[in-house]
Every structure is written in structure tokens, then in C-alpha cells.
Amino acid sequence: MLILDPEAITLATLRQLRNGSSARLDDAALGRIDASAAAVARIVAGGETVYGINTGFGLLAQERIPHDRLAELQRNLILSHSCGLGEATPRHVTRLMIVLKLLGLGRGHSGVRREVVEALQALLDGDAMPVIPSQGSVGASGDLAPLAHMTAALMGHGWIDLAGERLPAAAALERMGRAPLELGPKEGLALINGTQFSTAVALDALFAAERVFGAALQAGALAVDALKGSVKPFDPRISALRGQPGQIRVAGELSRLLDGSAIVSSHHRCGRVQDPYSFRCQPQVMGAALDLLENAARTLTIEAAAVTDNPILFSGEDGDDAISGGNFHAQPVAFAADTITLALCEIASLSERRISVLVDPKMSGLPAFLTDDGGVNSGLMIPQVTAAALVAENRSLAFPASVDSIPTSAGQEDHVSMAPIAARKAVAVARNAAGVVAVELITAAQGVDYHAPLATSPALAALHGAVRAISPRLEADRYWADEMAALQSAVLDGRMSGGFLLGR
């Protein structure tokens, strides 16, 4: 059980949460929540007109709501906003979204009662994930529709996936021994304003990208050995002169992975001057991608525990202030998600080019398509085509969602971020990139086998063994799809990443 301090969230903690660790807020956060709820009670009792507490929403903000209809106001807000479409959000992303909502509320500026936090916590503890359609948010005024579906489930509306069984929300709550949540003033708005859906999906993409990056780094090193490529471009002195941190780290990792390779030693004075860019420029290209991913990680770590609802409450000696601003606008998340996509596109593109070199006998000096008895056997001819198709698909997904905007709410919300679209695209691109890297792992392992009895490095021998446990050496043509899919899954779940982590 992780005890969460919303004011001290790290990337490592978010990685644990993404992987399903149990979590709850610390006592200090609960105290701040109680103090913020008391501020809302004082505002309501004082009769002051405050947006979202006793007014309508959006363009209807000028409509003052009578005290006896405040509960109805919050209920109608949730029901009217529960209008998403599309496939259900994956359970692990929904879980992360709930935790992020708890973190934001735990900062103590949202005005919800502790009962709301306990209802969200019960979903986590009971493995009860609201069924949340993945489409319907434009990433401004908060992720309104997805968060409304989460909140509606607490109220007994919609559906809940209870430990893998999909039930009407009211039935699931009854099985959990919980009554439907009744919202107080401000609480519905606090729950649906916020960037938690976009941020959860973007974090899912980020951690997928982290694993894909690590696997691509390993595959790229193995491909260098398969080509009998030079390690000189990875000399730390070259990268130090440029000074880019990602490049420096990648060059160091490639040098470490290839250290001790008998294949490298065998061609120390071979006379080859330069390898293709996809091999020798790995520090420059992969390093630039790494810098993008690190920047995205910083943005999303900050956003994970940010206060992103509206209005935001401040209390002090001079009284209580409820200030309407725009923290719900998810532009930082949109930019982060789009840069994850750009980085993944380049990682996959570079990987596919190495595959192409290795299967081309004119470039690699190896048998055509890395198969014996060519002609009867096609070898790795068509797996390279699959990799090329995935790269092409990624390019079609690479147009940044963050530069688009469609005004909503009768023009009141006249600029939106499209962060959830950017984040969902990044997840799709990560899966495609993992498929490309899977093909490179097969290709590079096959290429290294042709250099026997010369052995690759100890580090890469472990990678080679992991690949061969899933995809045996190619002796003659066989059915490829299953082992390629299995390697793609191994890339996505981190088994091929060599323990690579962002933030180091």
C-alpha cells in the first residue's frame, strides 16, 4: 500500500501506480480536504454567489441557483455530462485516473467532503472500475465526459467492472456494501473538472514509450553486432562535445551493451569507414527522442498531482476565496502526449531502417533476408514489410492533436487542448513501435547467429537468449505472426528493455 503525499509525487511513484500498486492518501491530505470542505460550507451559508457552487455552468454561469436546488444542480451536472462514446477505457488506466483525482483533491483546494474521497477510495480497494467510454473529451473545462462517467458510477448510474464482471453501477455498489453517493455543493464540478483522464492516458503512453525505448536501445546494439558495425561513433568524447544529455546517455548505453563482444573485436581493423546513419547516428536520434520523453515525464509528473478543477478555493485569515481560472485546460498534457508520439515515431523509424539494412545483402554482407536456401525460403522479407507498414501508420498518426481546436459550449470554451486525443494516439503509436522493435529483435538475433562461433557481448547474449526463448533461429520459412505478437508483448511489458528507466 503506497501512502501518497500529493505534494511530493515522483515519476517512480507514478510508475508503481501505473503498474497497479494499492494506494491511499496520507493523513495530511485528508486534513486539507476537511478544511477545504469547511470553506465551501461557509460560502454557502454566507449566501455569496460563487461559480459552480450556486450558479449554472459554462454559458449558464450567470444563473443563480436556489439553495434548495443545489443537490439537484450537482446531480444534473453529472448525468448531463455522462455522454461519452467509444471503447471502454482500459481498467489500469481507469485505476490510475482515480488515483490522480485523489491526488488533486488531496491538495485541499477543491472543496469536497471526505465522503467523496472515501467513495473513490472504495473503488480502488474493491477493484471496482467504472466503465468509461474513451471518446468525448476535448481536454478543456476538464475531461468532462470521462470524469462524469466515473462520478456517475459512484452515484449508481452507468456501469462498473467489478473485478472483471461488468454490472450496472447500482448493483455493483450494493454488492460492495456502499450506498450511492449524494453530491454536495461544488462536488460534482470538482470531480469532473480536471485533466486526470488525459493525464492517466498520457502516463500510460509514457511508460509504454519508456519500455519501447529500452528495447529499441538493446535491439539497436544487437543490430550493430549483426552488421559488424563500428563502435567508434559511440565514443563518449564525441557526445560530450555536443553536450545533449540524451545523446550522452544513449552513447554510453550502446558502448556498455557492446562491451566484450568478440564480434566487435574481430573486425577492429577491417577498414570500413562509416556505417549507415541508422546505426552510427543512434546516439543523436535516440538521444533526441530520449530528451523529448524526459521533458514529457517532467510535465506529466507535475500534472499528476496538480489542482486542475474550477473554481479553486483559498482560505486564510482574510476569509475564503473561490477563484475561477483555467487550470482545467490540458494544453501541457496535450503537448507532452504529442511529443511522446513524435519520439516513438522516430524510434520506430530508425529501427525499421536497421531491419532493412540487415536483410539487404548488398548492405549487410549477410545472406539475403537472413535465410539459407533463398528463393525457396523468403526468410525475413515480409516481417520487414510489416515493420514498414507500422512505421507508415505511425506517420499518419503523428500530426499533433495539440494544434487543433474546436470551440465548444456556445463559444464560452473557445480554445480547447485535444489532450485526450493526443494521449490516445500516443498509446497506439507505442504499440506500433513495439511491433517494429520486435521485428528488429528477430532480425538482429538472426544476423548475429551468422557470425558464430564469434559471440556477442555478455549483455547482448542475455538479450539474444530472451529473443530466442520466444522466436527460435530461422532454419526454414514458418508461420511468423504468433511469435512476432509475443515479442511485441514482451517489448510492451518491459521484458526486453534491459531495465531502462526514464528519470535517471
Cis before 276 (ω within 30): no
Position 41: which residue type? Answer: A
123 phi/psi in degrees, rounded to 5: -65, -45
End-to-end CA distance of the chain: 25
Q: Report the run of H or E that residue 195 belongs to, with start and end.
A: none
Task: Please list, in sequence order, all residues whose beta carbon lies within 8 angstroms of the beta carbon of residue 479, skipping any fewer than 6 positions away.
Answer: none
Confidence band of 413 (pLDDT split at 50, 70, 90): confident
Owner of C-alpha cell 517532467: 298
Helix, coil or strand: residue 142: coil
Do the Cβ atoms of 443 and 382 come closer than 8 Å?
Answer: no
What does the pLDDT average to over 67-89?
92
Which residues have C-beta within 8 Å of that of residue 344, sequence separation ≥ 6?
209, 212, 289, 394, 426, 429, 430, 432, 433
Alpha-carbon gap, residue 415 to 138, rounded angstroms: 10
Residues of the chain with CATH 1.10.275.10: 2-193
Consecutive H or E run containing 322:
strand 319-323
The percentage of residues in the chain with a pLDDT greater than 90, rounded to a whole number, is: 87
Element (DSSP H or E) covering residue 466: helix 458-470
Q: What is the mean pLDDT of residues 328-335?
A: 97
Q: What integer is the mean pLDDT of 285-306?
A: 98
**Positive or negative: CA dihedral 266, 272, 273, 277:** negative
Q: How far apart are CA 108 and CA 102, in angstroms?
A: 10
Cell representation of residue 149? 462517467
* Cα torsion through 427, 429, 434, 439, rounded to 10: 160
* Cα–Cα distance list, 310 to 50, 140, 157, 501 (Å): 11, 11, 24, 35
> How many other CB atoms are there within 10 angstroms of residue 35's CB atom?
14
Q: How far apart are CA 480 and CA 474, in angstroms?
A: 10
- Give 420's pLDDT tier (boundaries 50, 70, 90): very high
Q: Domain 2-193 - what CATH class? A: mainly alpha
32: which strand partners? none
- Cα-trace Rg, the chain: 26
Which residues partner with 55 through β-bridges? 64
Q: How many CA atoms lie within 13 A of 194 on its CB side?
A: 33
- What are residue 447's phi and psi, to 5 degrees? -65, -40
User: Could you tell me where the DSSP H helices lie in 318-418?
Assistant: 331-359, 361-364, 381-397
Phi, psi dihedral angles at 496 (to 5 degrees): -110, 10
Which grid cell is 98? 482515480
Q: Which residues touch 110 (CB under 8 Å, ≥6 apart)?
A: 33, 36, 104, 186, 190, 307, 309, 312, 313
Q: What is the DSSP letter of 374?
A: B
Higher pLDDT, 88 or 56: 88
**How much is the pLDDT for 48?**
79
Which pLDDT belongs to residue 68?
81
Q: What are the strands of the beta sheet with 128-130, ordered from one edge?
A: 128-130, 159-162, 165-168
* CATH no. of 202-310+325-493: 1.20.200.10
Predicted local confidence at residue 58, as pLDDT: 67
Which residues, listed in sequence order, are joined to residue 129 by a DSSP beta bridge?
Answer: 161
Does residue 59 have a pLDDT over 70?
no
Q: Find the mean pLDDT for residues 367-376.
A: 94
Q: Which cell numbers in the block locate residue 375?
A: 528463393
The b/e string for 139-174 (b: 16+ C-beta within 10 A; e otherwise) is: bbbbbbbbbbbbbbbbbbbbbbbbeeeebebbebbe
**Residue 146 banded pLDDT, cuts 50, 70, 90:** very high
Phi, psi angle pair for 245, to nearest 5°: -60, -40
Pairing mode, strands 312-316 and 319-323: antiparallel
Which residues are part of the catalytic machinery? 51
Name the segment(s) of the chain with CATH classification 1.20.200.10: 202-310+325-493
CB 175 within 8 A of CB 310: no
Q: What is the pLDDT of residue 70?
A: 81
Q: Nine-digit cell at 427?
A: 498509446
Mean pLDDT of the residues in the chain? 95
pTM, to two decimals: 0.96
Mean pLDDT of 172-182: 97
- Which residues, 6 or more positions from 59, have their beta carbon under 8 angstroms from its beta carbon? 409, 410, 411, 412
Alpha carbon 274 to chain centroid, angstroms: 36
C-alpha cell at 410: 456556445
Could you tell me which residue, 269 or 292, shows the higher pLDDT? 292
Q: What is the pLDDT of residue 67?
A: 79
